[in-house]
Chains A and B, each alone.
Chain A
Amino acid sequence: MNIKLTLVAGTALALLTALPVSAQSVEDFPAKPMTYIIPFNAGGESDVSARYQQSVWKEVTGQDVVIQYQPGAGGAQAWSQLNQIEGDGYTIMGINLPHTVLQPMEGSVGYVTDDLTPVHYFHYTPNAIFVQKDSEFKTLEDLVAYAKKNPGMVTFAGSGANSANNLGHAKFDDLAGITTTYVPFSGTGPSMTAVLGGQTTGGFNYATSGVNVGEDLKMLAVASDERLPAFPDVPTFKELGYDMAGGAYRGVAVPDSTPEELRKRISDIVQQINENPTFKKKMESGGFVLTDITYDKMGAFMKKMKAEYAAGAKALNIGDN
């Protein structure tokens, strides 16, 4: 009896002391500044959204975060090295969709999609169609009607080939039953310049670009589920009868050696930042759409996105050669 009691008590005590130890170390995380690698050049959407996070990071975690850049090969350079980083949770990396699904399909890029461990996808920048302020096209229907009569004549400037813009454009052409020409530029800046300057009929860009450019451009439709707080007057594609929503998703990934509890903890941190009112307000007024795809929802989300991008890749003939 006594022995049994002692055993039980002992076990309970051991459990009590053991549990808090591991819980404590995760609870204490982070105990020093973290490093956040952005696999792109500074100044893009990935950088800006990370900077927004950085501005409230200390408020949420009690520690600073340092942003470093490791650009190259559209992000592939950094992602292919992600798993070589120590998995202590202190180094995290920005991760993007559709990039990390499409790149491995295009050829050998040093990683495959499932090598990477995203722990939270915290926002996306929805695709949107832009035209010049005084364009003859007042609504999306005007543009579609014109495109139907003049196959191939409508040109859209977008950021990069095989990008979210390119996928969105292919899907829209398919849904609307039209043929338009996608003209890839080397980034959001140059492609918005082309739209502003009237070099192309319009632009297939991210809604976020519309915030900077202001009233010189007109947004005809945005690929989000609901209208954006920053653009209450712009209809969604869904409202107009085209079942498409999406754009480029951005999240946070960790090396695959990172223990399960830390993955959850980092996912929680990102989620808490997402719930921070200041952060939320800044992001939404910038045209970003916050998403709460936490670590526990990641499996289902990735499965869904991979299927969607596989269909898109087929439309763009990616992975044929």
Chain B
Amino acid sequence: MELFGYFLDALSPFNLMLALGGVVLGTVIGALPGLSAAMAVAVLVPFTFTMAPAAGLIALGAIYTGAIYGGAFAAILVNTPGTPSSIATTFDGYPMARRGDGGLAITLATIASVVGGLVGAISLLLLAPPLAKVALAFGPSEYFWLAVFGLTLISALSVGNTLKGLIGACLGLLMSMVGVAVVGGDVRYTLGSQIFLGGIDYIAALIGLYCVPVIIDLVATRDPHLKVAGGTDGIRFREALDICWRQKLNVARSSVIGTVIGILPGAGGSIAGLVSYSEARRASPRAAHFGKGEPDGVIATEAANNATVGGGFIPTLVLGIPGTPPDAIILGALLVQGIKIGPTLFSSEGHIVYTFIYGLLIATILMLPAGLLIGRYAYKSVIAFPKSLLVPTVAFLTVIGSFAVHSNVQDTQVMLGVGIIAWFINRYGFSPSPIVLGLVLGSIAEQGFVQTYLIGNATGNLFGMFFGRPLSIAIIAAALITLLYPFLADYRARKRGAAAMTEVATSATSRAGALDDTHPLPESGPALARGHDWGAVALAAVFLLLAGLAFWGAQGMSAMGSVFPKTISLLLAVLSIALIVLGLMGRNRPVPTETTAGPVSNIRRAALVAIFTVWAWLLPVVGFIVTSFVAFLAMAVVGEHNRVPVRTWLVRGLVAIATVAVFWWLMADVLLLRMPRGMLM
């Protein structure tokens, strides 16, 4: 009965207003790549000093859950995860949007997020103390194997192209080692430059890898950014509900995975999304369609990442150990309020904790109407925007996002550099997702590995530390299944005489097998022919050189700091040589040339890249407002394929001014970031 009283407390108009406001603000901030949940939460902390502790917590929790959900918008509409949690949402969300199912994808993400969020929050409400023990059962070796498990997803993401996927992962792993090492303390691969001292920020890299190629290709043709199937530009709520209902097992499994991984400090939403994605794919009879616009992939990721919110609060509130960065900030806010965290919190401060948890539940439910409304608006405006406004807006968002992470222009420059390289190598079949996986999971894998090694070595039980712990064995088994499943399924399918999964996945022309056809199938493309793939061979030679340099660069490092760089660079070398040999034998699968309706303009691409580069380098010198405004207009010109009357240009000029001004205000005055003013402003 006491609990019900807390529920009524949470329902006070003020608390409801905070929950709704928090969710809306969080969704908007989460939808903007680079502006993170942690940032939004940190900014609001001082305001909560003057509120009652429970009310302050509700506001913070609502923003947090909204931001994790909002990340899906950018992932679906512009192929860029708004927060790292929605990396796996891009795999299927963006292909869905490309073929005209963007509205459906957003609604699916919304429903899945709400359900996942509820599962996480209810676990927090009912099972927090026992579940907190899960966090403690995970030691360094489990983290290492969990990261490896995440990496095995590469085999699924690069079916028919495994070698290139593995090379991409090695590149990402090498990128993750740049900067000051946590273990060993070595300064690695900074090329003596301060820019790389803090490492390659993975949010900035993420934006570059996913978003810059989209922008570069956007200006090249007249094709609209997203297709709109006739009459289906709405949110398609009923349809989405049907799909989610059919996928209830997937939703439930992903929510549970998300909750459990949320409990692990240092794992977080990105891993939760990736693991549940790969589990959903493994369990699905439509596995071959994952990565090509399969609704189940979106559902899995989004259910899992919102479940991490409730999950993450479990160790935070029970053990005093924050599960995620926003949790750490909220923990700090509680301390300043004079609330003692720890096992006794639930009994001694029950009125605060339970009111907060109910507030979080209410905020999660409010996400449904709020999200559908914002989603509908976001989808319509992305469709309705002419290219000459969409291109500069998205480019502007990448600049803002990469800058905002550390209030550092150098991150923007790294973002752009990484993005241009990503566009280039993508043309030769090296897709960005394996690189991202390597980058995101690299430091977790490395730290787990070295810590396990140190402990195992000290206690004389090296083998047992890596392979002897029950939880480790379970994770290794799951990783092996994920890794081998495609081959196993192929074998079984061949035996039955049906089309093998790899064939379906690479060609996607055959609809053989027991695939139910009720929700839209991916577009079909031409089958890949085998043949010489000279571009990839040349790139592999470059990577081989890179591997040599990386190995050589690891010579001066401490023993602890050099294990991983040496291993990965050797692996990269071996894989590159394999690709070169296969290439010379003519046994590669070249990437098919792009299939677009209109002519492709490389001049526009080059102009865009040039504007982008000048912008990123003049930003600190000239100032944020001036460069952004000029670059915005210049990109609008590059993105425009038609003759447009002067009046339209005037309107676009106003749009440019308004966009730059609004974001300046949001960043400088709301999020309190340090903005580069330069010579002008």
The residues of A with any CB-CB pair to B shorter than 8 Å are 37, 41-44, 47-48, 51-52, 54-55, 66-74, 76-77, 80, 106-110, 152-155, 160-162, 166, 181, 183-186, 189-190, 192-194, 196-200, 209, 211-216, 282, 286, 317-318, 321
Contact = CB atoms under 8 A, between A and B. Distances in A.
A72 B325 contact: no
Given A51-B45, A185-B447, A212-B320, A109 B672 contact: no
B332 interface: yes
5 contacts: A42-B42, A106-B187, A181-B454, A193-B321, A196-B136
B405 to A, nearest CB: 9
Given A70-B674, A197-B136, A212-B321, A184 B182 contact: yes
B29 to A, nearest CB: 15
Contacts of B656: none
A72 B455 contact: no
Given A43-B329, A213-B320, A161 B182 contact: yes
B135 interface: yes
B408 A72 contact: yes
B42 A155 contact: no
A200 B457 CA distance: 12
Interface in B20-71: 38, 41-42, 45-46, 49
B455 A43 contact: no
Given A55-B49, A71-B406, A199 B336 contact: no
B338 interface: yes
Nearest to A132: B136
B319 interface: yes
Contacts, number: 184
B198 A212 contact: no
B328 A43 contact: yes
Nearest to B42: A42
Interface in B454-478: 454-455, 457-460
Interface in B336-357: 336, 338, 340-344
B46 A73 contact: no
A70 B407 contact: yes
Given A72-B406, A73-B179, A197-B137, 8 more contacts: A42-B38, A43-B327, A154-B458, A185-B182, A186-B182, A194-B451, A212-B342, A318-B185
Contact of B672 (A42, A66, A185, A286): A66
B321 A189 contact: yes
Given A42-B332, A72-B197, A155 B459 contact: yes
Nearest to A51: B336
A216 B318 CA distance: 11
Contacts of B180: 73-74, 76, 106
Contacts of B96: none
A172 B46 CA distance: 39
A108 B192 contact: yes
A43 B60 CA distance: 14
A282 B321 contact: no
A194 B136 CA distance: 7
B343 to A, nearest CB: 6
The SS class assigned to the A binding surface is mixed
Given A42-B42, A68-B407, A190 B325 contact: no
B359 interface: no
A153 B325 contact: no
Contacts of B194: 76-77, 80, 108-110
B325 A196 contact: no
A144 B145 CA distance: 33
B534 interface: no
A48 B406 contact: no
A68 B674 contact: yes
Contact of B408 (A77, A152, A166, A211): A77
A106 B197 contact: no
Interface string B110-153: 00000000000000000000000001111110000000000000
Interface string B169-185: 00000000001111111
A69 B194 CA distance: 19
A184 B321 contact: no
Contacts of B672: 66, 68
Nearest to A152: B458
Residue in A181, A196, A286 with the greatest tally of chain B CB atoms within 10 Å: A196
Nearest to A197: B136
B335 interface: yes
Contacts of A166: 185
Instruction: List 7 A-B pairs, minimum CB-CB distance, nearest first.
Output: A43-B328, A212-B320, A72-B198, A161-B185, A214-B342, A197-B136, A73-B198
Contacts of A213: 319-321, 342
A106 B325 CA distance: 27
Contacts of B673: 68
B434 interface: no
Residue in B328, B338, B341, B447 with the greatest tally of chain A CB atoms within 10 Å: B328
Residue in A43, A73, A214 with the greatest tally of chain B CB atoms within 10 Å: A43
Given A73-B197, A190-B266, A193-B321, A200 B455 contact: yes
Residue in B41, B45, B184, B459 with the greatest tally of chain A CB atoms within 10 Å: B459
B319 A183 contact: no
B556 A52 contact: no
Contacts of B49: 55
Interface string B364-407: 00000000000000000000000000000000000000000011
A55 B338 CA distance: 11
Contacts of A67: 42, 46
B454 A42 contact: no
B156 interface: no
Nearest to B455: A155
Residue in A42, A162, A215 with the greatest tally of chain B CB atoms within 10 Å: A42
Contact of A37 (B321, B408, B674): B674
A282 B138 CA distance: 33
Contacts of A80: 194, 197
A37 B333 CA distance: 17
Contact of B556 (A194, A196, A209, A321): A321
A76 B406 CA distance: 12
B199 to A, nearest CB: 7
B311 interface: no
Contacts of B301: none
B185 A106 contact: yes
Interface in B546-568: 556, 558, 560
